[in-house]
């Protein structure tokens, strides 16, 4: 994941998708057709996240463009996408964490 992040930070564009991608590849829950913990939930959240910032699968984006879009995400949008996610339930993610990470990464 760190190698991917480094390439993105260096300006390499990426294509948005709503399916398993390079970031999913290293996950121990990755299975041939999705996620062993629930593919439909992940796909729903992927679609909702893109919709929240006005994007569609297949669009190409840069890291700085992503940062600009994420900077406009409000708490209600975040909750509509991420509320109830297993990471949130396990204390691994929150609105506050999102804000902190977004500011750290994109200023």
Residue 101's domain comprises: 2-106
Tens-place pLDDT, residues 58-87: 999 999 999 999 999 999 999 999 988 888
Q: Say which range, 6-10, 31-35, 56-60, has the weakest mean pLDDT.
A: 31-35
Beta carbons of 35 and 24 less than 8 angstroms apart: yes
pLDDT of residue 4: 85
pTM of structure: 0.81
State how many domains the chain has: 1
**Binning pLDDT at 50, 70 and 90, where does residue 50 land?**
very high
pLDDT of residue 94: 94
User: b vs e for 78-95, b when ≥16 Cβ sit within 10 Å of the residue's Cβ?
Assistant: beebbeeeeebeeeebeb
């Amino acid at each position: 994941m760190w190698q991917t992040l480094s390439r993105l930070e260096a300006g390499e564009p990426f294509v948005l998708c709503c399916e398993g991608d390079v970031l999913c590849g290293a996950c121990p829950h990755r299975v041939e057709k999705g996620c062993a913990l629930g593919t439909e939930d992940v796909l729903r959240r992927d679609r909702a996240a893109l919709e929240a910032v006005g994007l569609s699968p297949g669009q190409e984006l840069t890291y700085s463009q992503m940062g600009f879009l994420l900077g406009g995400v409000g708490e209600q949008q975040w909750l509509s996408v991420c509320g109830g996610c297993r990471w949130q339930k396990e204390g691994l993610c929150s609105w506050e964490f999102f804000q902190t990470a977004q500011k750290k990464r994109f200023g």
